[in-house]
Structure 1
Amino acid sequence: MSLAPRAVLVHRRTEYEELLARHGTHGQAAFFLSSRGRSIDEVHRRHERTQQALRQVAAAVPLTWRSSRVERADLDRFLFAPQDVVVVIGQDGLVANTAKYLRGQPVVGIDTDPGRNPGVLVRHRCADAAALLRAATAAGSRAEELTMVEAVADDTQRLLALNEIYLGSPGHQTARYRLDADADADADADQGPGEAQASSGVLVGTGTGATGWLRSLWQERDSPAQLPAPCERRLLWFVREAWPSPTTGTTKVAGELGRGQGLRLTVESDRMVVFGDGMEGDALELTWGQSIRLGIAGTSLHLVT
């Protein structure tokens, strides 16, 4: 007997909840903001809209289904199951934060604040939740397969991201590493000398990430490369602020990765971190001599449309 689907509602603490956690009471939070010329009213209204959205989506879950909730801060400790239908309630970025923990489960994005969010990934309204949940488990349901980026270290550590993966120093120090572009996925780890670099880090992004951090670098460089589409199996990468010196070069600072291609970095600093989609608290840590390879992930985000 197969298990009934489980609706997993993903949300994050609102700004109002964060204020209460910091100041203790509504009154103290209101005083803190008013003393700085700001009002708590709009923050509280956004909180109420989010809570109403959570209640409305929870009520839309079919009675025969199971249901669970998880907050953004607990995603790295939550166990998603193959039969889950994941409902992200909030902003576009919350879909990206969730994607790295999934392995093909259908995702529904619900916008809690239409007009304030771009709605790139949270495309639906609360009133559509019941129909979307049914569609997510129906045969032949419509969905987009959004390309993801993957990083695999030489000690088997693995990281997935929907928008981008960043590699660099954990602070504001210079990251030092050896970079080898266009490494074949099946090639031996020794790819030759590559190029020693000192920079502010390396960013590898997808078509979904092309609306954010990746796009800003692309525009800053006036890059001739075409930004990938969200479902396109293609990545772009950029080195941030590479520094030329007698021992470090700047000839490999941007490029494109297709199927079977990869970007390999060998660490030449005491410590480097690798994190995806802004989730710094769930990062890989690498030390001197370790290497990591980035490329197109074998899994995609299954976004219900």
Structure 2
Amino acid sequence: MSLAPRAVLVHRTTEYEELVARHGTAGQAAFFLAGRGRSLDEVRERHERARAALAAAAAAVPLTWRQARVNREGLDRFLFAPEDVVVVVGQDGLVANTAKYLSGQPVIGIDADPGRNPGVLVRHRPADCAALLRSAGSAAASASVEALTMVEAVADDTQRLLALNEVFLGPPGHQTARYRLGAADGDEAQASSGLLVGTGTGATGWLRSLWQQSGSTLRLPAPAEPRLVWFVREAWPSPTTGTSRVEGILDGEERLRLTVESDRLVAFGDGMESDALELTWGQTVTVGRAEAALRLLG
């Protein structure tokens, strides 16, 4: 007998909850903000919208399904099951934070604060959740699922990192690191503040910023394209380091190779520095398209 589907509701602590936890009471938080010309009311309103969206998503889960909730801070300890349907209630970034812990489960993005979020990944309103959940396991739902390309970093000691937007490799303090970069057209010793390897989904954020700043002529990929783009940040020329390989495309199975020539480098995905790979002198890490993809209901 197969298990009934489980709806896993992913959410995050709101700014209001963080403020109250930091200052002890809502009154103390209001006093703190008032001293800086801010009001707690706007923060409380966003909190209430987020909690209302989460409650609406929970109420939309069919009675025959199982249900679980996980906060963003607990994602790395939560065990997702193959029969799960993941409902992310929040911002676009929360979908990216969740994606790295999944293995093919369908994801529904619910916008907790319409008009404030771009809605690239949280494409639906809370009122849509019931219909989306009912159809999640049907053939019709499979047809509406978009497989978004992901990127992975794999170290020579088997450490592995997945990301939906981009992987950053560089010094933990974002200062200057030394390493040897290897691509299809050769190797180069470099000194820089790190590099980004990203997907078409990531091309709407940090990756696009680097692309614009460098005046790059590379065509950024679409979210479902099996193609990655990479950029080196602030490469520094010297007698022993070069700047001839600072951007490129990774098609299909192509991978970028980085060998550490500093005391310590880190690799983290989608801005989550707290969940990083630790890399030391002489280690090698390769970065390329992941076999896994995020299955997002359109």
TM-score normalised per structure 2: 0.98
Identity %: 75
Unaligned 5+ residue runs, structure 2?
A: none
State yes or no: 1:151 paired with 2:153: yes
Find the aligned partners of 2:183 and 2:135 in 1 and give their Cα distance.
41
Q: Which of 199, 203, 208 is 1:206 aligned to?
A: 199
State yes or no: 1:15 paired with 2:15: yes
State yes or no: 1:91 paired with 2:97: no
What is the match of residue 179 of structure 1?
181
Query: Per the alignment, in what secondary structure is the counterpart of residue 266 of structure 2?
Result: strand
1:266-298, CA deviations, whole angstroms, 9 ceiling, x for partnerless residues? 001111100000111111001000001011110
Aligned residue runs from structure 1 range 92-171, under 5 A: 92-141=92-141, 142-171=144-173
Deviation at 1:94, TM superposition (A): 0.4
What is the match of residue 186 of structure 1?
none
What is the match of residue 51 of structure 2?
51
TM-score normalised per structure 1: 0.96
Q: Which of 261, 271, 274 is 1:268 aligned to?
A: 261
Find the aligned partners of 1:136 and 1:296 in 2 and give their Cα distance.
26
Query: Per the alignment, in what secondary structure is the counterpart of residue 299 of structure 1?
Result: strand
Deviation at 1:119, TM superposition (A): 0.4
State yes or no: 1:277 paired with 2:270: yes
What is the match of residue 197 of structure 1?
190
1:25-73, CA deviations, whole angstroms, 9 ceiling, x for partnerless residues? 0000000001111100010000001111111110100111110000101
Deviation at 1:92, TM superposition (A): 0.3
CA 1:302–1:67: 2 relative to 1, 3 Å? same
Query: Per the alignment, in what secondary structure is the counterpart of residue 45 of structure 1?
Result: helix
Deviation at 1:172, TM superposition (A): 3.5
Contact 2:177 2:262 in 1 (8 A): yes
Find the aligned partners of 1:275 and 1:178 in 2 and give their Cα distance.
19
Unaligned 5+ residue runs, structure 1?
A: 184-191
Find the aligned partners of 1:112 and 1:172 in 2 and give their Cα distance.
32
Query: Which amino acid in structure 1 is aligned with residue 71 of structure 2?
Result: E
Contact 2:194 2:233 in 1 (8 A): yes
Deviation at 1:129, TM superposition (A): 0.4
Query: Which amino acid in structure 1 is aligned with residue 30 of structure 2?
Result: A
State yes or no: 1:71 paired with 2:77: no
Find the aligned partners of 1:181 and 1:18 in 2 and give their Cα distance.
43
Deviating beyond 4 angstroms after TM superposition, the runs of 4 or more aligned structure 1 residues are none
What is the match of residue 189 of structure 1?
none
Alignment length (residue pairs):
296
1:210-230, CA deviations, whole angstroms, 9 ceiling, x for partnerless residues? 110000011111111111000
Contact 2:174 2:194 in 1 (8 A): no
Deviation at 1:140, TM superposition (A): 3.7
1:150-180, CA deviations, whole angstroms, 9 ceiling, x for partnerless residues? 1111111111100000001011331111000
Query: Per the alignment, in what secondary structure is the counterpart of residue 242 of structure 1?
Result: coil
Query: Per the alignment, in what secondary structure is the counterpart of residue 282 of structure 1?
Result: coil
Q: Which of 238, 247, 257 is 2:240 aligned to?
A: 247
Query: Which amino acid in structure 2 is aligned with residue 284 of structure 1?
Result: L
Find the aligned partners of 1:140 and 1:235 in 2 and give their Cα distance.
29
Query: Per the alignment, in what secondary structure is the counterpart of residue 120 of structure 2?
Result: coil
State yes or no: 1:215 paired with 2:208: yes
Query: Per the alignment, in what secondary structure is the counterpart of residue 247 of structure 1?
Result: coil
What is the match of residue 235 of structure 1?
228
Query: Which amino acid in structure 1 is aligned with residue 174 of structure 2?
Result: H
What is the match of residue 296 of structure 2?
303
Deviation at 1:139, TM superposition (A): 2.1
